Amino acid sequence: MDKRKIDLPLKKKDKGINKLIIFDLDETLAHCVRQENPDRPPDVRLDIKMQSGKILRAGFNIRPYIK
């Protein structure tokens, strides 16, 4: 299984660590959950702060073998 993992090393800069974001526009790697199912909670939850200051709570299910 480890052969399928991709190593994305972080490069340190003077002011901290760069962050990497991957956009999966066709939802092949992760699936956004609009309404949570109590029988299957999302794999990951993120709190996203909007420009208005409102916090959007997003849930994602990660496809098998992606982690």
Residue 1: pLDDT over 60: no
The residue ranges of every structural domain in the chain are 17-67
6, two tokens: 């991709």
Q: d(Cα 58, Cα 5) in Å, to the nearest integer?
A: 25
Give the mean model confidence (pLDDT) for residues 1-25: 67
| pTM passes above 0.75 | no
Residues 22-56 have pLDDT tens digits of 777 677 777 777 777 788 888 888 888 888 999 98
Sign (positive or negative) of CA dihedral 63, 26, 6, 46: negative
